[in-house]
């Protein structure tokens, strides 16, 4: 198992890419704390995992990721339960697709708060713990639109471009503390929203992807497993595209 004995925190872990990452980490031998936005969704995710394997070592929390004190308290709960934190996956995020003329500044600020500020807050807390224990891994969810933009909803690609910059900068800063920092930039992934699209909408999108399919959440989760594992021990500061060469 690639993550045997490791302790991981996955934000946005109740569905989609986050849930697939939690499950993949558990299957690879890690103990996992999944963070969600609401107690209700966390409970549902835990119940689903327990149905699949009642022995999974997993707990769920729902801190406000934009509140440093709540994040600190949640991380301490994980340490109290599992002893340490080896891996942080900053996956929580929101999107928005309004055109600039209709864009609400409050919506833009919310995207930046969760997609950027929360990543900083969680990374700062994790880095402090990891430095004291001798190292660790911080992984961020970026997006292919951070590299290519999108036709509307400028806040989302802007936030993910910022995540890329934070990833590369923290990799350079924290390397001496044996903390690796990388990001995964998914392309079109079969989340609930994409899966609900009618064939006449999704097929033209598939036709633009060289691999001729949309990605599965597990495709992204597998990339996180690799980057979290010792197989990637000399990889840091990388934005790994998992997009089927969509925009290449």
- How far CA 40 is from CA of 35, 93, 197, in Å, comes to 12, 18, 26
Give the closest residue to 11 by CA, choosing from 94, 135, 79. 94
Catalytic residue among 56, 103, 156, 234: 156
* 3-state helix vs strand vs coil in the chain, percent to 5: 50, 15, 35
Give the closest residue to 9 by CA, choosing from 78, 68, 64, 72. 78
156 is catalytic: yes
Is 196 in a helix, a strand, or coil? coil
Q: Please tell me what DSSP assigns to residue 241.
A: E
CB 97: neighbour CB atoms within 10 A? 12
Cα–Cα distance for residue pair 130/123, rounded to 1 Å: 10
Q: Say how many CA atoms lie within 13 Å of 164 toward its Cβ.
A: 20
Helix (H) / strand (E) containing 161: helix 155-174
Among all residues, which ones are annotated catalytic?
Answer: 156
């Amino acid at each position: 198992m690639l993550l045997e004995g490791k302790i991981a925190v996955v934000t946005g872990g109740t569905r989609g890419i986050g849930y697939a990452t939690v499950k993949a980490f558990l299957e690879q031998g890690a103990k996992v704390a999944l963070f969600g936005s609401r107690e209700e969704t966390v409970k549902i995710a835990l119940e689903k995992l327990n149905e699949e394997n009642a022995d999974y070592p997993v707990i769920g929390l729902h801190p406000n990721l934009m509140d440093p004190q709540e994040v600190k308290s949640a991380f301490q709960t994980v340490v109290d339960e599992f002893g340490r934190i080896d891996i942080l996956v900053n996956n929580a995020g929101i999107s928005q697709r309004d055109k600039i003329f209709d864009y609400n500044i409050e919506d833009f600020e919310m995207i930046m708060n969760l997609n950027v500020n929360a990543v900083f807050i969680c990374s700062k807390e994790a880095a402090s713990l990891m430095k004291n224990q001798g190292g660790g891994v911080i992984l961020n969810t970026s997006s292919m639109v951070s590299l290519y933009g999108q036709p509307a909803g400028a806040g989302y690609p802007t936030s993910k471009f910022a995540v890329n910059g934070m990833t590369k900068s923290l990799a350079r800063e924290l390397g001496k503390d044996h903390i690796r920092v990388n990001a995964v930039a998914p392309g079109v992934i079969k989340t609930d929203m994409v899966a609900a699209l009618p064939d006449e909408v999704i097929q033209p999108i598939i036709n633009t992807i060289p691999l001729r399919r949309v990605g599965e959440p597990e495709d992204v989760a597998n990339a996180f497993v690799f980057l979290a594992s010792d197989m990637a021990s000399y990889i840091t500061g990388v934005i790994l595209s998992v997009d089927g060469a969509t925009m290449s």
